[in-house]
Structure 1
Amino acid sequence: MKRFGITILLTSLLISAPAAAQNANVDKRVERLEQEIRAIQRKVFPGGSTRYFEPEITAESAPSSSANANTTSAVTDLIARVDALENSLANLTGQVEENGFRLKKIEDRLAATDMPAAGPTSANSSGSEPKTVTEAAPDPERVVGVAAIVKPDTGDSGEDAYIYGYRLWDAKFYPEAQAQLKKMAEDEPGHRRASFAQNLLGRAYLDDGKPALASVALYENYQKRPRGERAPDSLYFLSTALVQLGKKADACRVLAELQDVYPEAASGRLADRVTSGKAAANCK
């Protein structure tokens, strides 16, 4: 069975189009992505920092005997820049969301101990009494709900970590489930349940309205664990994330890859999902 990587497949399709049209299209994508990355960096690095994550790509130049070859090389370089920028954008978005989640946990702890997180301690310029900042207390129902999720203890750390993450997701505590599942996949990369955890991490992002982060998590599961038990599922949910991101053509290519690489799963337990996925993406 001949297998085509999704990234290589998409790149080859772009290169096969007319060079002039590709240049215009890719230039717009590069400009848009660079603007988005700078906007995110202002959140990750406040204070006007001008740091920029250059893509770690070294273009190897080779002499060309025709103008057409030079144009094709330039388009290929631009496509490589776009891929690198999209990865940087997804990673930075993840950093923003993770930083926000950590900040929320710190605020919750401060509120629980009745400690003001910030605020002036002296009288203001008008001579009135100093103002205090009151932090909102954490949702008591959520605190109780999370605490009620039982952590299994079977002696298999990988299995226990995944099951706990699954229970958090099943109870719709999505941020907590994301943190747990991501930690499990990172701490136990060789465990059988790592494929399950990374796939469910992508689903937790989808359920939490974060399709960009979902697409990264799901593609990484397929890329890093192609023989994992949930690799076919990750391709299906990746197509779902792409549809939500408005990339229906890419979603169709992902579903085609699912059928090519995992024909038994695509025609068996995932058959209904493949059919509904194609309908959602308007695949021909």
Structure 2
Amino acid sequence: MRNYLTAAVLLIGVGAIPGTAVAQSAVENRVERLEGQMRAVQRKVFPPQGQGGNNQLIQPDIAPGEYPAQPSGTPSGSPVADLTARVDALESQLSGLTGQIEQLQFKNRQVEEGFAAFKRSTEARLTAIEGTTSGSAVAGDTATQPVATATPKPVTPKPATPAVSTPAPAKDAARATRAAAIEKPATDDAGEDTYNYGYRLWEAKLYPEAEVQFKSLIKDYPQHRRISRAQNMLGRSLLDGGKPNLAILAFYDNYRKMPKGDRAHESLFYLAQALVKLNKPAAEVCKVYDELEDVYPDKLSPQMKADVARGRVTSKCK
């Protein structure tokens, strides 16, 4: 610290012309006091461990107003006078800093004392609450003891009420009757029987029931010769049953997985119809028609060609 201040003073007074021996001695004394005050501030802000850390105020080595009067005869405006003025300013600033530190320490003590009082009050309140809760628990246990020893009254069991089955709605009953009226084929080819039964249900406009049969064939007989037809009829059952979103998936799967199947071209045609029902952009519908005519030009029946032409006009395909 001393070397730092000495260097600072030297920088401040570079080029200064020495005054009288008495003036220089006075300035040196004040610099010594200034260094002592700086050491006091340093101990205040950074107290050594175990020293000064117990909120004890450290008085500065130099108090304001203790400087001896400047000896007369010092030339006015000389470098020594300028140096003295600067030292005065530094001493004033250090004195203000010391006062601020003392105020902060005082406020810190007030905060610590207030927190300690709050802690004591809170602990007392918690202790009182715990005592009240324990007393209530003991009283509650005592009050419930006679109830535990009471003899329960015999209860006469009531006769069980027989469960009442809710009859199926008339609509479902009528639908079940219609489905039961559809003849189920019974041949040596279970896959063929499943397809034919599903087709008959579709013809009777029992679309959910037909959907079940076609899904069963696709799952149980994936290599059956009717698999392409079953996938196509699954899509038609979904489309006619008001599920165009699912129908699109069924039609597309038939074309994508079995492009050489005997009903792949029909699936493309009905895929376009499902897109129309979903109000999809005309450009998407036209792309399906283009794919159909490009891939299966020889498989389109006259009726399907006429339907494709009408669909192109409706969708304004180029």
Q: State TM-score, norm by structure 1.
A: 0.51
Percent identity of equivalent pairs: 50
Listed one character per residue, the Cα deviations across residues 24-47 of structure 1 (whole Å, up to 9, x for unaligned) are: xxxxxxxxxxxxxxxxxxxxxxxx
1:115 aligns to what? 165
Bigger Rg, structure 1 or 2: 2
2:286 aligns to what? 252
Q: Say whether the 8 Å CA contact 1:236–1:255 is kept in structure 2.
A: yes
- Is 1:280 aligned to residue 302 of structure 2? no
> Cα 1:174–1:267, aligned 2, differ >3 Å: closer, same or farther?
closer
1:228 aligns to what? 261
Q: Say whether the 8 Å CA contact 1:236–1:277 is kept in structure 2.
A: no
Letter in 1 for 2:165: M
1:175 aligns to what? 208
CA distance in structure 2 between the aligned counterparts of 1:265 and 1:159, rounded to whole angstroms: 24
Q: 1:1-284 counterparts in 2 under 5 A? A: 114-115=164-165, 136=169, 139-247=172-280, 248-266=282-300, 268=302, 270-284=304-318
CA distance in structure 1 between the aligned counterparts of 2:171 and 2:217, rounded to whole angstroms: 26
**Shift of residue 217 of structure 1?**
0.4
Displaced runs of 4+ in structure 1, greater than 6 A?
none
**Shift of residue 138 of structure 1?**
5.3
**Shift of residue 283 of structure 1?**
1.4
Q: Say whether the 8 Å CA contact 1:266–1:274 is kept in structure 2.
A: no
> Cα 1:114–1:276, aligned 2, differ >3 Å: closer, same or farther?
farther
Aligned to 2:239, the other structure's residue is in SS state: helix
Gaps of 5+ in 1: 1-112, 117-133
2:65 aligns to what? none
- Whose RCO is larger (CA < 8 A, sep 6+)? 1
1:95 aligns to what? none
Aligned to 1:270, the other structure's residue is in SS state: helix
> Cα 1:267–1:173, aligned 2, differ >3 Å: closer, same or farther?
closer
Aligned to 2:224, the other structure's residue is in SS state: coil
**Shift of residue 171 of structure 1?**
0.3
CA distance in structure 1 between the aligned counterparts of 2:164 and 2:270, rounded to whole angstroms: 43
Listed one character per residue, the Cα deviations across residues 181-207 of structure 1 (whole Å, up to 9, x for unaligned) are: 111122212112111111011111111
> Cα 1:277–1:114, aligned 2, differ >3 Å: closer, same or farther?
farther
Gaps of 5+ in 2: 1-162
- Aligned-residue CA RMSD in angstroms? 2.0
How many residue pairs get matched?
155
1:83 aligns to what? none
**Shift of residue 135 of structure 1?**
6.7
